[in-house]
């Protein structure tokens, strides 16, 4: 390659490269691993409980929650429901995607937004609502 097309790595690029390679050998270490703060709940009806709880809180229908509409008032309830499903159940992204009629990459994006506090998750009140719904669901599942 011609030298004029070569450039030096930035410090971020060097750090990312070092995560993937140790002494020139490819590393299996993952740069990020999602670890939920609670043990998942083994409850078959948890998906329906989550959808009903979120739809009641935001005063929307359960059909509307995961419907094909892409209106802005549905984004926050959807992202909260997806994050609750990911954190409180043993379901994989592909299984949650099948239930919500979404691609697994969309779900990865929603979970990443919450973890990195971007988009709707910049607002602290949304985290408070998420934690409130999560504790209510946990308490309901332990009581039954």
CATH number, domain of 98, equals: 1.10.1750.10
Confirm whether 113 is domain-assigned. yes
The answer to whether 85 touches 96, Cβ cutoff 8 Å, is: yes
pTM for the model stands at: 0.71
Mean pLDDT, residues 65-88: 91
Structural domain count, the chain: 1
Is residue 26 within a helix (H) or strand (E), and if so which, with residue range? strand 25-26
Rounded CA separation 103/107 (Å): 7
Full residue range of the structural domain in which residue 102 is found: 46-143
The answer as to whether 69 is a domain residue is yes
Whether 12 maps to a domain, the answer reads no
- Reply yes or no on whether the pLDDT at 14 is more than 90: no
pLDDT at 106 over 70: yes
Considering the chain, what is the average pLDDT of its residues?
Answer: 81
Task: Give the whole-number percent of the chain exceeding pLDDT 90.
Answer: 36
Residue 3 lies in a domain: no
CA atoms within 13 A on the CB side of 114: 26
Q: Is there a domain that residue 21 lies in?
A: no
């Amino acid at each position: 390659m011609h030298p004029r097309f070569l450039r030096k790595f930035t410090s971020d690029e060097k750090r990312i490269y070092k995560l993937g390679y140790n002494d020139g050998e490819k590393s299996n270490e993952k740069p990020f691993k999602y670890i939920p703060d609670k043990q998942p709940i083994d409850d078959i009806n948890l998906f329906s409980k989550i959808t009903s709880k979120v739809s009641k809180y935001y005063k929307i229908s359960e059909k509307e929650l995961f419907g094909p509409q892409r209106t802005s008032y549905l984004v926050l309830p959807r992202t909260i429901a997806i994050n609750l499903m990911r954190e409180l159940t043993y379901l994989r992204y592909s299984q949650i995607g099948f239930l919500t009629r979404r691609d697994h990459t969309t779900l990865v994006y929603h979970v990443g937004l919450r973890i990195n506090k971007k988009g709707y998750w910049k607002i602290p009140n949304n985290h408070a609502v998420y934690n409130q719904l999560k504790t209510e669901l946990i308490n309901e599942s332990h009581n039954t």
